[in-house]
Amino acid sequence: MVVKLKNPTERTAFLSLIDKSFPDVVLATSENDGEGAYRLNFKERDAIQLRNNAMDQALETIRNRIESAGSA
């Protein structure tokens, strides 16, 4: 996700908020998106866990739909 600050003077408050509220997020400046822009990414282990959870949930949904269609 890219966050672009409306006012560059809010940089310190923004960085403090991210540090306190989202300790597992990797924060980097985003030169491609202009001044005052920051790129937020999940740490690799968190991205893998999120991906695995989404796949498990999708498979469970598909199984439930197949079971309900077979009993109808």
Q: Is the pTM for the entire model greater than 0.85?
A: no
For residue 42, list its beta bridge partners. Answer: 25
Residue 22: its pLDDT value, please? 87
pLDDT tens readout for residues 15-59: 999 989 988 889 888 776 667 889 899 888 988 999 999 999 999
Residue 1: its pLDDT value, please? 87
The more confidently predicted of residues 67 and 33 is 67
Residue 63: its pLDDT value, please? 94
Close Cβ partners of 39 (under 8 Å, ≥ 6 residues apart):
1, 2, 27, 28, 29, 30, 33
